[in-house]
């Protein structure tokens, strides 16, 4: 991408990350609150607290400050109808609030159940309602035409939100949001028409204006006007943003990096310029100190190790290695101090996280190429290659469903989708004949899911995610080094802007949830006994040495990929020669 395009992408992303909270700003979660949130999200799926899109007792003002992008939504408790819920969404530059109707259905004399609906079909639970409207892209109501695409996940525990926004019911049965202490805050005016966006109004008290004209199908969740200023939300302007602090630190080059600001000790983050991968220094019992590209003996041992382990064990080793590189797992306080943030998931969204982004792109491509070599280097029978394809498909399924590792899943899927692999018609035919269930799994489940991830139409449940789908963000921010076949979803005119904005918005959420990903990864890997030789197979340093040799691994990246693309094509054509047109 041209420098101006990258600047526009960065500007859009950082604006949404740091300046969207000028209206309403909540304290970033403390470590204790992070742990409380993690515990809430680990609850059973039948418990509403386990769903990150449920924000509990937050006022409508706060909900409007959270749904910033087209298709964003969240669920909150109604302020005006105690016990009911409201769906707040952003659609076509407007913030909308929909009261979710509850109806009690008597199934028998002793048993009743509650159903939830907006306008049409009723559902047995709120998660069922959310899954339907997100998955089907059905309109919420006919009059609004609005849809919901992406949940805005809470970053604070419900226990804190309930304390921060205490609710008291007035004599009119209306809920009033009263902070525990009153402080000056930016004022807002709001019309009863939900299609009217909220605008700041400085130097005045918080109040709401209403239009008495009723509108059909208008689900409103608005208390009556408070003109005396006795009840308003406690909102404070945010402190100096992280980006602003970095700019100040850039001017302060040469100053002692350990400073005191407002009584707190701060360190300047270290801007990394060298890759964490050191293939030239890498030593392994699986290869000599110096090796040539694709040495037969090393390749044979790699195939033996892959054949010995089951797909789930392979997925666990891949996830462990992925999370280490991405700084999700085993991040020491010293590394956090150097990064300036708690998690690699936040670092990769920041300007000084470029080297981490580049390393993750290198890992993604190298993993995909190594798995492709494993298939294309199988010179046995077609059935043997089909069996190997089946195992790789199973590894992809384990990464997706069992481990919640969307990064590793995407890398394995890229290996299967490389043109040199996908063109092997005889091998894929043998897969359909010998491993029908694997072929169906790949064609009907994994490929559509991968496409939906890239298009921004699908996501992995937060409670199951160890490594979110960051590849689109990496490709957007580092387009000049991202390597892939064909155009990305955002490069087509029809969906370009929507998909770009979806992934930038998703990155804002991902940056805040590093603690949850770490907790999920630790939980899924608890008691896991890694095998040193197997783990080495999935280390990027080892893969670079295997593919390009001890000398070639340090060459220019674009040159390495270009040369190896030719190698893959030659291997593929040798297995199944192309049909020449007469």
The dihedral through the CA atoms of 300, 302, 305, 310 has a sign that is negative
Measured in whole angstroms, how far is the alpha carbon of residue 288 from the centre of its chain? 39
Average pLDDT, stretch 136-164?
Answer: 87
Cβ proximity of 136 and 445 under 8 Å: no
pLDDT digits (tens, 9 = 90+) for 359-398: 999 999 999 999 999 999 887 899 999 999 999 999 999 9
Q: What value does the mean pLDDT take over residues 291-314? A: 93
Using CA atoms, how far apart are residues 113 and 43, in angstroms rounded to an integer?
A: 22
Query: Could you give the CA distance from residue 403 to residue 399 in angstroms, rounded to a whole number?
Result: 5
- Please give the share of the chain, as a percent, with pLDDT higher than 90: 43
Could you report the per-residue pLDDT of 251-288, keeping only the tens digit for each? 544 444 444 444 445 567 888 999 999 998 898 889 99
Is residue 196 pLDDT above 80, yes or no?
Answer: no
Q: Is 332 exposed, middle or buried (0-12, 13-18, 19+ CB in 10 A)?
A: exposed
Distance CA 465, CA 406 (A): 8
100 Cβ contact partners less than 8 Å away, ≥ 6 residues apart: 75, 84, 85, 86, 87, 116, 117, 118, 126, 129
Within 10 Å of residue 470's Cβ, how many Cβ atoms? 24
Average pLDDT of the residues in 172-182: 35
Closest CA to 511 of 328, 294, 338: 328
Lowest-confidence pick of 239-253, 299-313, 315-329, 345-359: 239-253
Higher pLDDT pick, 540 / 4? 540
- Please, which residues bridge with residue 201 across strands? 187
The β-bridge partners of 103 are 115
Picking from 35-44, 89-98, 232-241, 544-553, which range would have the lowest pLDDT averaged per residue?
232-241
- What gap in Å lies between CA 208 and CA 190, rounded to an integer? 5
Query: What tokens were used for 380?
Result: 């046995």
Does the pLDDT of residue 55 top 90, yes or no? yes
pLDDT computed for residue 460 by the predictor: 76
| pLDDT score, position 426 | 94
Task: Output the pLDDT for position 143.
Answer: 86
Beta bridge pairs of residue 287: 284
Which DSSP string corresponds to 2-70?
-HHHHHHHHHHHHIIIIIGGGSS--PPPPHHHHHHHHHHHTS-TTSGGG-TTB--S--HHHHHHH--ST
| Predicted pLDDT at 532 | 92
What pTM does this model have?
0.61
Q: What are the tokens at 101? A: 């109707």
Report helix, strand or coil for 425: helix
Q: Given this structure, which CATH class describes domain 296-575?
A: mainly alpha
Please give the sequence-ordered ranges of beta strands (E in DSSP) within 139-253, or none if there are none. Answer: 150-151, 167-169, 175-177, 187-189, 199-201
Which range has the worst mean pLDDT, 102-111, 143-152, 181-190?
181-190
Token digits of residue 410: 């995407």
CB 53 within 8 A of CB 151: yes
Confidence of residue 540 (pLDDT cuts 50, 70, 90): very high
Q: Tell me, what's the pLDDT at 348? A: 93
The token pair that represents 187 in the structure block:
């004022």
Give the whole-angstrom CA distance, residue 376 versus residue 299.
12
CA distance 370 to 539: 11
The CA distances from residue 337 to 38, 465, 484, in Å, are 23, 25, 34
pLDDT of residue 213: 29
Output the pLDDT for position 492: 57
- pLDDT at residue 129 tops 70: yes
Buried b (16+ CB within 10 A) or exposed e, 1-25: eeeeeeeebbeebbebbbebbebbb
pLDDT over 90 (residue 582):
no
pLDDT, position 488:
61
Q: Distances from the Cα of 98 to the Cαs of 80, 89, 173, in angstroms?
A: 12, 8, 19
Query: H or E stretch including 406?
Result: helix 406-417
- The domain limits of the chain are 35-164, 296-575
pLDDT (0 to 100) of residue 34:
85
The Cα-based distances of 216 to 143, 164, 193 in angstroms read 8, 34, 11
pLDDT per position as a tens digit, 479-527 = 765 555 555 655 554 557 778 888 888 888 888 888 889 999 999 999 9
Please report, rounded to a whole number, the percentage of residues in the chain having pLDDT higher than 70: 73
Query: What is the model's pLDDT at position 142?
Result: 86
CB 223 within 8 A of CB 174: yes
Q: What is the pLDDT of residue 408?
A: 97
* pLDDT mean across residues, the chain: 78
- pLDDT on residue 489: 56
Residue of 121 and 109 predicted with greater confidence:
121
In the block, tokens 């602090």 appear at: 245
Amino acid 65: pLDDT = 86
Neighbours of 476 (CB within 10 A): 24
Which of the residue ranges 237-246, 515-524, 557-566 would you say has the lowest mean pLDDT? 237-246
CA-derived radius of gyration, the chain: 26
DSSP 464: G
Residue 82 has pLDDT above 70, yes or no: yes
* Confidence at residue 214, expressed as pLDDT on a 0 to 100 scale: 31
Please give the pLDDT value at position 175: 36
Q: What is the mean pLDDT of residues 232-255?
A: 43
Among 113-122, 345-354, 453-462, the range with the most confident prediction by mean pLDDT is 345-354
Quote the pLDDT of residue 267: 63
Q: Is 500 exposed, middle or buried (0-12, 13-18, 19+ CB in 10 A)?
A: buried
Query: How far apart, in whole angstroms, are the C-alpha atoms of residue 105 and residue 99?
Result: 19
Which stretch of DSSP H or E encloses residue 536?
helix 532-537
| Angstrom distance (rounded) from CA 30 to CA 23 | 21
pLDDT for 368 equals 96
Q: How far is CA 416 from CA 219, 330, 375, 543, in A?
A: 48, 31, 9, 17
Q: What angle do CA 542, 548, 551 make, to 5 degrees?
A: 95
What is the Cα–Cα distance from 506 to 89, expressed in whole angstroms? 15
User: How do residues 424-456 score in pLDDT, each as one tens digit?
Assistant: 999 999 999 999 999 999 999 999 999 999 888
Phi/psi at 233 (5° precision): -80, 140
The CATH architecture annotation of domain 35-164 reads: 2-Layer Sandwich (3.30)
Q: Are 356 and 345 in contact (CB under 8 A)?
A: no
> Mean pLDDT lowest for which of 226-230, 276-280, 550-554?
226-230
Nearest 10 degrees: CA dihedral of 388, 392, 393, 395? 140
> What pLDDT band is residue 105 in, cutting at 50, 70 and 90?
confident
């Amino acid at each position: 991408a041209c420098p101006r395009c990258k600047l526009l992408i960065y500007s859009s992303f950082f604006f949404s990350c740091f300046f969207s909270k000028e209206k309403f700003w909540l304290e970033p979660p403390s470590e204790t609150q992070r742990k409380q949130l993690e515990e809430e999200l680990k609850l059973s799926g039948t418990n509403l607290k386990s769903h990150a899109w449920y924000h509990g007792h937050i006022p409508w003002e706060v909900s409007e400050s959270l749904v910033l992008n087209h298709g964003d939504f969240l669920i909150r408790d109604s302020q005006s109808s105690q016990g009911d819920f409201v769906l707040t969404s952003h659609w076509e530059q407007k913030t909308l609030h929909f009261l979710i109707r509850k109806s009690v259905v008597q199934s028998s004399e002793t048993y009743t159940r509650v159903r939830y609906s907006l306008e049409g079909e009723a559902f047995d639970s709120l998660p069922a309602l959310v899954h339907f409207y997100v998955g089907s892209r059905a309109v919420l109501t006919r009059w609004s035409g609005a849809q919901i695409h992406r949940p805005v996940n809470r970053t604070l525990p419900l226990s804190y939100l309930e304390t921060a926004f205490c609710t008291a019911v007035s004599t009119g049965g209306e809920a009033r949001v009263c902070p525990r202490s009153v402080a000056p805050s930016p004022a807002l005016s709001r019309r009863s028409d939900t299609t009217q966006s909220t605008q700041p109004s400085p130097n005045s008290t918080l109040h709401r204006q209403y239009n008495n004209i009723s509108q059909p199908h208008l689900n409103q969740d608005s208390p009556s006007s408070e003109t005396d200023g006795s009840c308003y939300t406690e909102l404070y302007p945010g402190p100096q943003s992280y980006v602003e602090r970095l700019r100040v630190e850039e001017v302060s080059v040469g100053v002692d990096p350990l400073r005191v600001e407002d009584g707190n000790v701060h360190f300047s983050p270290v801007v990394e310029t060298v890759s964490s991968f050191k293939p030239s220094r890498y030593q392994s019992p699986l290869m000599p100190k110096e090796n040539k590209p694709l040495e037969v003996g090393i390749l044979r041992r790699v195939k033996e190790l892959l054949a010995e382990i089951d797909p789930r064990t392979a997925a666990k080793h891949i996830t462990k290695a992925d999370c280490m590189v991405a700084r999700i797992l085993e991040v020491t306080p010293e590394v956090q101090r150097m990064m300036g943030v708690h998690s690699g998931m936040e670092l990769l969204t920041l300007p000084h996280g470029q080297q981490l982004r580049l390393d993750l792109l290198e890992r993604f491509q190298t993993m995909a190429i190594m798995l492709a070599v494993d298939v294309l280097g199988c010179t046995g029978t077609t059935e043997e290659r089909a069996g190997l394809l089946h195992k790789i498909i199973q590894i992809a399924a384990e990464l997706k469903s069992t481990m919640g590792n969307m990064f590793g899943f995407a890398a394995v899927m890229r290996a299967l989708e490389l043109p040199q692999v996908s063109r092997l018609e005889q091998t894929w035919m043998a897969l359909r004949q010998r491993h029908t269930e694997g072929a169906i799994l790949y064609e009907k489940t994994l490929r559509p899911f991968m496409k939906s991830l890239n298009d921004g139409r699908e996501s992995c449940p937060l409670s199951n995610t160890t490594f979110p789908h960051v590849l689109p963000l990496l490709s957007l921010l580092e387009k000049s080094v991202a390597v892939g076949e064909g155009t990305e979803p955002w490069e087509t005119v029809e969906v370009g802007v929507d998909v770009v904005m979806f992934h930038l918005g998703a990155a804002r959420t991902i940056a805040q949830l590093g603690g949850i990903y770490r907790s999920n990864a630790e939980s899924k890997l608890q008691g896991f006994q890694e095998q040193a030789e197997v783990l080495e197979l999935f280390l990027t340093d080892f893969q670079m040495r295997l593919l390009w040799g001890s000398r070639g691994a340090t060459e220019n990246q674009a040159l390495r990929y270009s040369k190896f693309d030719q190698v893959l094509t030659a291997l593929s054509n040798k297995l199944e020669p192309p049909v020449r047109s007469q």
